[in-house]
Amino acid sequence: ACISTVKAEVSKTIIVSNRLPIKITEDEQGYALQPSEGGLATGLASIHAQGDNSWIGWPGISISDPQQRAYFTSALKEKRLVPLFLDEEEIKGFYEGFSNEVLWPIFHYFPNYANYSLQNWETYVRVNHKFLELILREAGPDDTIWIHDYQLLLLPGMLRKALPDASIGFFQHIPFPSQELFRLIPWRKELLEGMLGADLLGFHTFDDVRHFISSATRLIGTNNNANRLEVDGRPVFVEPFPMGIDSKRFSDLSSAEAVKNRVAELKSNFSGQKIVLSIDRLDYSKGILQRLEAFELFLRENPNFHKKVTLYMIVVPSRDTVPHYRELKDQIDRLVGHINAQYGAYDWYPVAYFYHGYPITEISAVYNVADVCLVTPMRDGMNLVSKEYVASRKDETGVLILSEMAGAAKELIDAVIVNPNNIHDIRNALLTALNMPLAEMKKRMKSMQAIVFKFTVQHWATLFMSRLQEIKNVQSTTKAR
Ligand code: F6P
- Does the CB atom of residue 174 touch ligand 1 within 6 A? yes
ipTM of the complex: 0.95
Q: Report the distance separating Cα 58 and Cα 91, nearest Å.
A: 10
pLDDT of residue 46: 65
Q: Report the distance separating Cα 406 and Cα 420, nearest Å.
A: 10
Q: Report the distance separating Cα 403 and Cα 326, nearest Å.
A: 24
Burial environment of residue 118 by CB neighbours within 10 A (0 to 12, 13 to 18, 19 or more): exposed
Is 0.90 topped by the overall pTM? yes
CA-CA-CA-CA torsion sign (269, 275, 276, 280): positive
- Does the CB atom of residue 59 touch ligand 1 within 6 A? no
Whether 143 is a known active-site residue: answer: no
- Does the CB atom of residue 319 touch ligand 1 within 6 A? yes
Q: How far is the CA of 281 from the centre of ligand 1 (A)?
A: 9
Q: How far is the CA of 38 from the centre of ligand 1 (A)?
A: 5
Model pLDDT for residues 434-455, shown as the tens digit of each residue? 999 999 999 999 999 999 999 9
Model pLDDT for residues 121-173, shown as the tens digit of each residue? 999 999 999 999 999 999 988 899 999 999 999 999 999 999 999 999 999 99
pLDDT of residue 89: 97
Q: How far is the CA of 459 from the centre of ligand 1 (A)?
A: 21
The amino acid sitting at 426 is I
pLDDT of residue 28: 87
pLDDT of residue 345: 97
Q: Report the distance separating Cα 328 and Cα 283, nearest Å.
A: 8
pLDDT of residue 435: 98
- Does the CB atom of residue 149 touch ligand 1 within 6 A? yes
Q: Which atom of ligand 1 is nearest to the CA of 17?
A: 6
Query: Residue ranges of the chain with pLDDT lower than 70?
Result: 1-10, 37-39, 42-43, 46, 480-481
Whether 173 is a known active-site residue: answer: yes
pLDDT of residue 36: 82
pLDDT of residue 479: 73
pLDDT of residue 37: 66
9 strand-pairing partners: none
- Does the CB atom of residue 39 touch ligand 1 within 6 A? yes
Are 131 and 84 in contact by the 8 Å Cβ rule? The answer is yes
Are 198 and 156 in contact by the 8 Å Cβ rule? The answer is yes
Number of helices and strands in the chain (H, E)? 19, 17
pLDDT of residue 280: 96
Task: Report which of 55, 34, 33 is spatially closest to residue 44, judged by C-alpha positions.
Answer: 55
- Marked catalytic residue, from 246, 380, 414, 425: 380
